Amino acid sequence: MRLHVGCAMWNHTPWRGRFLPHPLPPEERLRSYASWCNAVEGNTTFYATPARSAVESWARQTDPGFRFVVKLPKEITHERRLSGADEELRAFLEAIEPLGPRVHALWVQLPGSFGPGDLGGLAAFLHRLPRSRRYAVEVRHRAFFVDARAERLLARVLAGVDAEWIPFDTTVLFQSPPTSDAERDAWTKKPRVPRRSLALTARPIVRYLGRDSVESTVEGWLPWIETVIGWLREGRSPTVFIHTPDNADALTLARRFHDDVRTRLPELEPLPEPVPAEPPTLF
């Protein structure tokens, strides 16, 4: 029984010297992060296909059981809207090959304008993808969350290729007005949709966004604790990513989420012991 937890990135300035050793060369930063968490969102690949040499470095810094949920480049999902991007997709798949089994799923994040009328394009795209990999889709159009027919149609498309539906739970953020610059920025950028907690596959993936307040973030994830425990007892293998608007404490919060689940399920495999941020002293 194993729960994977992680953050939106593995290198964040507020973590340096506080949670992670500093300074660290780029080729050691992911290794240090991986001593805290056993998964990470591959958000950087949204902006550009990475160099193969960079991906080889990521593989060297993590063990085969570490999970990357790697986002497809925006050129494919947002600019081409899944059409006419075969060359770009081929280049991306070749670039991430060195990660091997660490690629838990390829993440198809779709723009908010991608609605029920676009499902034919999504189905065609998913059916063209190599069957040797797993896929997960994140939608932001409100109809998929409030229109039962649209929800059923999307679930049917995903089930046809054994793809997961990634929920991005922002409900806690929008429960009350923002109280910091980071929260105000998140209010303008994050999707405001109802919470969805139904798994389609044996490997559900959750993105949870709390508040800059640790207490509010922990209180808000309580429904996910129950859901994840249920999934684990069913034999599923979930991955949960913890976000806050400023992400200053996201690294410790991800571990705390894992600890909260493990308190209820002691048989859950523990996370590794983090590398100390500072070297040990003699006195």
pTM of the predicted model as reported, rounded to 2 decimal places: 0.96
Hey, what are 11's tokens? 């290198």
User: Residue 130 has what pLDDT?
Assistant: 94
pLDDT of residue 283: 45
pLDDT in tens, 165-193: 999 999 999 999 999 999 999 999 999 99
Please tell me the predicted confidence (pLDDT) of residue 26: 87
Residue 281: pLDDT over 50: no
CA dihedral sign of residues 82, 59, 13, 7: positive
What is the pLDDT, as a whole number, of residue 279? 61
Interval 22-36: pLDDT, tens: 999 988 999 999 999
Q: What percent of the chain is modeled with pLDDT above 90?
A: 95
Gap between the Cα atoms of 174 and 172, Å rounded: 5
Q: What is the pLDDT of residues 132-175, one digit of tens each?
A: 999 999 999 999 999 999 999 999 999 999 999 999 999 999 99
Q: State pLDDT tens for residues 192-203.
A: 999 999 999 999
What's the CA gap between 203 and 237, in Å, rounded? 5
d(CA 36, CA 124): 38
User: Do 170 and 208 form a contact (C-beta atoms < 8 A)?
Assistant: no
Using pLDDT thresholds of 50, 70 and 90, give the confidence band for residue 275. Answer: confident
User: Which string of b and e fits 175-205 if b means at least 16 CB within 10 Å?
Assistant: eeebeeebbeebeeebeebebeeebbbebbb
What one-letter code names the amino acid at 42?
A: G
Q: Roughly how many angstroms between the first and final C-alpha of the chain, as a whole number?
A: 40
Q: What is the mean pLDDT of residues 201-228?
A: 98
Q: What is the pLDDT of residue 1?
A: 85
Average pLDDT, the chain: 96
Q: Is it the case that residue 282 has pLDDT exceeding 50?
A: no
Alpha carbons within 13 angstroms on the beta-carbon side of residue 136 total 28
User: Who's near 275: CB < 8 A, 6+ residues apart?
Assistant: 20, 21, 32, 35
Tens digits of residue pLDDT in 24-68: 998 899 999 999 999 999 999 999 999 999 999 999 999 999 999
Q: At CB < 8 A and 24+ separation, what contacts does 88-95 make?
A: 88/49, 89/129, 91/49, 92/45, 92/49, 93/130, 93/133, 94/52, 95/49, 95/50, 95/51, 95/52, 95/55
pLDDT, tens digit, 9 for 90 and up, residues 72-125: 999 999 999 999 999 999 999 999 999 999 999 999 999 999 999 999 999 999
pLDDT bracket for residue 231 (50, 70, 90): very high
